[in-house]
Each structure stands twice: as structure tokens, then as C-alpha cells.
Structure 1
Amino acid sequence: MTRIPLIRPYISYSDVESDFKDIFESGWFTKGKFVSEFKHQIAEYTSSKYACTTTSATTALYACLRVLNIGVGDEVIVSDLSFPATANVVEEVGAVPIFADVSLDTFNMLPEELETKINSKTKAVIFVDAFGNLSGIDKIKSICRSHSIPLIEDAACAIGSSLDDIKSGNISDLTCFSFHPRKLLTCGEGGAITTNNTEYAQRIEVLLNHGAQVIDGKFDFIEAGYNFRMTEMQAAMGISQLKRLDAIVESRNTTKQEYSKLLEPLEFTPQRSDINTIHNVQSLVYRVPEGVSRDKLIHKLAEHNIETTLGTYCLSGLTYYAKKYGNINPNAQKLQNTTITLPCFEGVDVDRVIKTITKIL
């Protein structure tokens, strides 16, 4: 029986063959015309002033914390439902991640949770667009503004999503994207930062390039920076997909509607999006019915050659953070234990997936 994966990348070799040939013949593998063009196109697509490409969303988040001069003694409030990288970068700069619980409907940070955790040590908020969903970020942004706290958007999953017709990338002070293979736009690996702040953008470019800056026509190294640069081949891959990203988002929403119609009688609960958002459905995630073991369901589906996985992690409940800080958030923990990610890509056999789930239940 043919295996059904979680996702198939929306790119083929033929899409980039001529660009790869150009790159190999030029011998210019980094800091070239494709990276420059990709940055331009990301900024244009998101309507942001600046876009900087990186090696991953993780290095993008780390660079944002460095730009904000966050370090030892500082606190950063973080959405508690995410991949560990969101909190790991806070630890890496020496600050303390403060985990804010999330909504059981949207899976995103609760505004009332944020309000109760802000204090004099709070230097930034990292809002995670859970599985690409921007719902509630407007309320979080308003709270951050009222306290003069920078808002970093972990938009690792959210390229193509929008709020009130404003694309992710042009909402927060700093936005970080991922181009991992499971994302709608993949460069194999890679990431990007968008911002409308000139000072942030200039310093980010310095940090991503070993701390180097051209002064009076000469290179000088003005900070302890990093090599967080994207390659030309990665950028070429990104360019080839960005032009059809909106069509990909529309297609994935159609697939979600098909799934939801068939899963509703089985009492699976979909992730909810606010009416003013367009959700790119980066991952198709449902809460399983009461009394159903999510882990057993994943195992049984694997026996039928259907790949599924958990939604994502309750950060405060991970061994490292639970031992260090305690205070596990109940909603995030519940979502970690009861959500399942189903296959979603162009041409996925939804009928086979649903029939298999029905049989297992």
C-alpha cells in the first residue's frame, strides 16, 4: 500500500534546474543575486520594508534577541505551544523564558495570560503563530504597545497567512520565518526576518555576516556576529515557490474543508481561526475525540502506511523546562497530548485517511 506522507514539498527539480546551472557556472554560491532577489521578493510579498535571509527560523529568532540586546536578568514571554527552538533561543542568550498558556481553540497565546506575566524584567514577547494561525495576534500586539515591549512573531509556520489583509511579516516588530522541508515554502533549510525598523534591519545584516560592516570602503568587524547566511541555491528554491504561494494556501484550505466535513461526525475538533484571518494551514491539526488515545491512533495509522504526528509541544512541560522552572500550563499540556497532524498536500487521498481513521476508531 502506497505511503501517505504528512506533506510533499511544492517544488520539483525542473523548477530550479536552470537557476542551479547558472549558480554552478558562475561559481557564486553565497551573497549573490539570488539571495538579493529573494530578500527583495519576501519584503515585497509581505509589504515589509526589510527582509533578511538566514540559515533557519532558529537563527532568525536568536538574531532578533541579540538585536534587542536581551541577555542575563531579562525575561521573554513565550507562547507555550511550539517547537522547543522558540524557548531555546531565549535560554541561549541567558534570559528566562516565561511561558504563557494558549487557547484551546486557536492554540495561540491568551491575552489575559500575557497581561499577568508582564513585569519590569520583561524585554520582549514571542508570539507563535501556531501552525500558521495568526488569530489573536492583534490583541497581543495592542498589549505589547501599551507596555512599550517589542513583539517578536515566531512565524516559522505562517508564510502566506494574513490578518485583516495584512500579511504575516508586516504585523510585528520582528517576524521570523522558516523554510524547513515541512513548510509551504521550502529551501531545504533556511529562514528569514522581516521588519519595518531601519535600525533593526541594519544591525541584523551585520550580525548575520560575522559582525562585518563596510566602513569607508573597507570591511570592519563591529560586533561578535555569526555566519547565519542563506546560500544562493536555497534562495533560488525560495524564489520559485513564492510566486505561487497564495495558490498553495488556497489549495490547503480546500483540503482542510474536505477533512473537516468528514471528521465532524467522528467528533474531531479543528483548530479555529478568527474571521479576520487567512490561515495558511501549514499543518492540518485536530483535537482527537474524548476517550481516544492520540498516540495509539498515530501508531495504528502508521501500520496502514499513513504518516501522522502530534501537533507540537507544551514547552513548559518538556523535561528541561519542567525541571528548571516548573509550572506546567494546562491548556498547552492538553493540546500536546490530544492533537494530531494529518497529511495535507496537493492530491492527498483524504478519503483513504478518513476511512482508515474510522476503521481504527
Structure 2
Amino acid sequence: MGRMYDFFASHQLLLAPMAGVSDMAFRTLCREQGADLTYTEMVSAKGLSYANEKTRHLLDLAQGEDVVAVQLFGHEPGVMASQAAWIEQAVGDSLAYLDINMGCPARKIVTKGDGSALMRDPDLAARIVSAVRAAVDHPVTVKFRRGWAQGQETAPEFARRMEAAGACAVAVHGRFAEQLYRGSSDWGTVARVKQAVSIPVIGNGDVKCGADAAAIKQQTGCDAVMIARAAEGNPWIFAQAKAALAGEHPPVAPTVEQRIAMARRHARLLAQREGRNIVRMRKHAMWYMAGLPGAAAARGKINACVGVEDFDAVFDELLEIAGAHA
């Protein structure tokens, strides 16, 4: 437990695991801006057990990525344990810890009994944690939500169960699973979980700017802060959060030119990894250019982009429009 407190003392700002988002390119940019630790995209234990190359591909690390957390999802204790052991071997010394996803509210995840569905079955959740903990040498953490059903907070008791089962830390998001991403995240939940357990607690949910990172720590006493959707198209949030946690003035917001330059770099990093077809850059490009002059008109063009030069052409246009608006 002391080891984990020491770890989070120097790893305060975490990039959340986000399916289809936290790939190697995005993790690189967030680390450069100040993320202390990034998670891979969440990995299916079942997919790994089938030796699925598409799933194993998610565990590849970026150049210079010397520490990473891996989040595993599934609901079968034996499969989760065996695949956790495989991940530990595959990732080696770069693995910070293994996280078990008990928070994802997506229909395709919960209908299989994975993600936040496990909050409805604390006994099974505890068996999974115990099995994974017994199978690996690295710390095991659990990420979950305020509760399953709207209005029924179970997170503090659930956190105690996970700690008793062997969890070394927990991350809690202050929305109910039934809320999905609607409404607001209750940071009070994070504070109540912090009071309920003796292991480190990571606060998550509605950290939308640097000042929010300092506020959630101050209001809840959490040991680290996890940022998810607010980092999409905005890796600079980590630099802003780092300044806020240190009590320093926030860095100046990125200019249009800096936003476009970051988007270009993101596309090139993706191309190094994926080759000519980087259609997955489309959503990232939309996020980078959100709110810029001409962004609405450029959306259709972005949806037709395939390679780096396609994206560059749209970015060039946006820079021209921004110049005309200056």
C-alpha cells in the first residue's frame, strides 16, 4: 500500500483509458504536455485469450513510454487472471499496474456482464480482483462508478469490498452507470470513497480544465486525478493541470496555429504506426478544430480524409480562414 502512495505522490495526473482514443500517438502527446501516467485503451481479456492480434496490438508502447497502466475488462475470474499474467509478461518493466474496468457503462460492454455491470454483483467483482491479484506480481487497481442505478450510491461500500479482495488502489467516477455521461459528476462520491478505504483513491469525472484538477484534489482529498474526455483534442490540459496543482499561473491557451500544429503532429504519429490509412484521426481532428472559424464547414471534408496529406489540406484551409479572421 505504501508503494502505491509513493507512486501517486509522483504520478498525480493520469490520462484515462479510452477505447479508440488513448492510442500510442495520443498518449505521447499527453505525456509531453505533463501527463504523469497514461493508460492503454481498455483491453478485452476474452480477446487476449483468443490470441487476437487486434487486441494485443493495444499493448504496444510508444517510443520512450517507460511506464504505462493497462486496463483489462471481462467478467470471468479465471480468464481475467490468466490474461493479466500474460499482460504482465508482455509489458514487462514498463507496467505500472493492472487496472480492472468496473466502470464502463457502454451497452455493448455491460450486456456481456463486463464494465459497470460488475457493480451489480460485488461478490463476482471481488472474486475477479482476488484472482487477478493472485496471478500477478504488479499492483492491481479497480475503476468503477458512483453506483449502477441512478440515485443509489454504492461506491464507498464497493470500494471497501475491492480493498478487502486485494485492490491496491481504486479510481472512482462520480456518475452512476445509468447516467452514462449525462448530468454531472458528483465529486462528493470521491470524497466518501476516500473516507471509506485506506488505499489510494484516484478522482475522475468532469475534470474539464486545469483548475478542476486542483479543485477535485482539494475537495475530495484524492491522491491522483484522472482526466478523460477533456483531453480529447486538448493535450494541453495536462500542462494547465500541472500548473494548477503547483499553485502557478496557468500557461497561455494554445493559439489556432498551435492547435493545428498539434493536430498535424498527431496525424503523423498515427501514420508512423498505422501506415497510410489513418481514418481514426478523423475524430481527433474534429476535437482539435472545435470552435475554430470554419470548423463546421470543414467537418464534411474531415470525414472524407484518409491519409496525412488529406488532413493537411483541411488544416491548411483552416489556417487560411483563421488568418482572414485575425
- Do the two structures share a fold, i.e. TM-score over 0.5? no
> Which one has a bigger Cα radius of gyration?
1
Q: Which has the higher strand share?
A: 1
TM-score by length of 2: 0.31
- The higher-RCO structure (CA 8 Å, 6+ apart) is 1
